[in-house]
Amino acid sequence: MHEWALAEAVISAAAEAADKEGLKRVTEVVIGLGELQQIEDDILHFALSQLKKDKLVKARFKIEKVKAKMRCRACGNTWVFNTKELDKSMTEAIHFVPEVAHVYVKCPNCSSPDFEVLEGRGVWLLSIKGV
Amino acid sequence: MGKSLLASTLALVLAKKGLTVGLFDLDFTSPSSHLILGVKNLQPTEDRGIIPPQIHGLKYMSIIYYSGNNPVPLRGADVSNALIELLTVVKWGRLDYLVLDMPPGISDATLDLMRLIKNAEFLMVTTPSQLAFETVRKLADLLRELGASVIGVVENMKMTQTDFVQRQTKALGLAFLGSIPFDKNLESTLGKPDRLLATVFGEKVKLLNSKIEKNQTSKL
């Protein structure tokens, strides 16, 4: 479950952000979760609840999912990534390394692999609250 | 230049000495160390992260587990993101050495590495060509400016008697770690690490490692 490794990174980033903001106790952390990687939000949530410590021990974690939106650099077409168009081994590969989307996903309009992921990649901190 | 060959052989030499060694191919768009090691039907496992599989005594990680033999058309920002992702989720465990096989010259991976792995040490590989050494010179300047640690310079694929690289390396204030002659037998050892280690190239890399160890010890 590499959701656990991502949870560790989120905890570490949130602790760093709390230090930067001078918070003594964190009450809420909101996380953006891009759909490109197909991260299991239940597992991520559980991992976060198990790994939280120190300033974050009482923090509530909220996860906001963001659809993966691409724009083709060749023709300008924009589209929303749909895992149903790929087989299981391809979606699994993207799950672990999102950039390999460039190996398996093509622009639906011109078939170019040269696209940018406008949004919906990775896991990131949206906000942090505390006292 | 033979960077992947040198990185892979050095990792194998260290592992043969009984050390715990990881090899990470960071040349995402042109990976080749899997061909040197003869990696086939190998996949990482998962346990709260990605656990690199073992081959020939090495923990080995490459993007090929996910991209297969397909082209990997990544731009600079994608290379950075993939690098950060893998550094985050790959669980190496305790290692004596992690050998990173880098893309050539100053690349996004080089800059990210300097930013993210503060104690990384750089071993530069060049050929006797003035053109190749020009890249070494620029990279050496950058590494010095950024305060990165440089192990030294290795001259690979040497075919004629010239001390050009040795002189230039010393002029840069860096350690010259030796020359490796062009070895026409190397191609037939691809995928066969034991045969690779028995070549002149393999023997020279063992000497190179001894010299690195000696230099590191004298620094202490």
Chain B hits for A2, Cβ within 8 Å: 46, 48-50, 89
Distance between CA atoms of residues A75 and A11, nearest Å: 39
User: If you average pLDDT over residues B89-114, what whole number do you get?
Assistant: 92
pLDDT tens readout for residues B41-84: 999 999 888 999 999 999 999 999 999 999 999 999 999 999 99
Alpha carbon distances (Å) from B26 to B36, B63, B93, B152: 15, 8, 19, 20
Asked whether the beta carbons of residue B88 and residue A9 sit closer than 8 angstroms, the reply is yes
User: If you average pLDDT over residues B147-172, what whole number do you get?
Assistant: 93
pLDDT tens readout for residues A56-97: 999 999 999 999 999 999 999 999 998 888 999 999 999 999
Chain mean pLDDT for chain B: 93
User: If you average pLDDT over residues B89-108, what whole number do you get?
Assistant: 93
Specify the pLDDT at position B1.
66
User: If you average pLDDT over residues B100-121, what whole number do you get?
Assistant: 89
Q: Is the pLDDT of residue A131 over 80?
A: yes
Residue that the structure tokens 């903001």 belong to: A21
Minimum mean pLDDT among A114-118, B42-46, B182-186: which range?
A: B182-186
Q: Is the pLDDT of residue B92 over 70?
A: yes
Token pair listed for A105: 């996903």
Chain mean pLDDT for chain A: 93
Helix locations, chain B, DSSP H: 3-16, 33-37, 64-67, 76-89, 108-116, 130-145, 164-171, 193-197, 200-219
- Closest residue of chain A to B80, computed from CA coordinates: A99
pTM of the predicted model, to two decimals? 0.89
Q: Which of A97, A105, A111 to mutate to test the interface with B (most CBs of B within 10 A)?
A: A97
Ordered domains of chain A (ranges, CATH) = 3-130 (3.30.2320.80)
- Closest residue of chain A to B75, computed from CA coordinates: A114
List the beta bridge partners of residue B58.
B21, B55
Token pair listed for A103: 């190996």
Residue that the structure tokens 């070895």 belong to: B183
Alpha carbon distances (Å) from B191 to B23, B38, B58: 15, 4, 14
Q: Nearest to residue B125, comparing CAs of B114, B133, B117?
A: B133
What is the band of B24 on the pLDDT scale with cuts at 50, 70, 90? Answer: very high
Which secondary structure element, helix H or strand E, spans residue B152, and what is its range?
strand B149-158
Specify the pLDDT at position A1.
57
Specify the pLDDT at position B121.
94
- In three-state secondary structure terms, A34 is strand
